[in-house]
Amino acid sequence: MPTHHIVLTEEDIERIINGEEVAFDFNRTIKAGEKIIVRQSYVKDMVAPIINRDKKIYSDAEIENVKIASSMMADTFKLGV
């Protein structure tokens, strides 16, 4: 059974999250029973996205860094009290 792979970049995923459309052209028809695999690209995008969207993709490490930075900022304001 032939398998087809659709590789999504980070920008493609952000477009889907924000309600936009991502289209792909296939060189041949897909027959019944053929498998389609959709996955994220293993390679980071070479350029930053041109459009700033409402919803972004963040890794767990990036989220943890934001939490640490926020708590550090909150602690600096508490020192004056």
pLDDT value at residue 69: 84
pLDDT at site 80: 58
**Alpha-carbon distance 59 to 44, whole Å?**
13
The full DSSP string for the chain is --EEEEEE-HHHHHHHHTT-------SSPPPTT-EEEEEE-SS--SS--SSPPSS----HHHHHHHHHHHHHHHHHHHTT-
Domain limits, the chain: 3-46+53-78
Cβ(4)–Cβ(37) under 8 Å?
yes
Q: What is the pTM of this model?
A: 0.53
Q: What pLDDT does residue 65 have? A: 85
pLDDT at position 51: 64
Reported as a single tens digit per residue, the pLDDT across 10-67 is 888 888 888 889 988 888 888 888 898 888 887 776 666 666 667 777 778 888 888 8
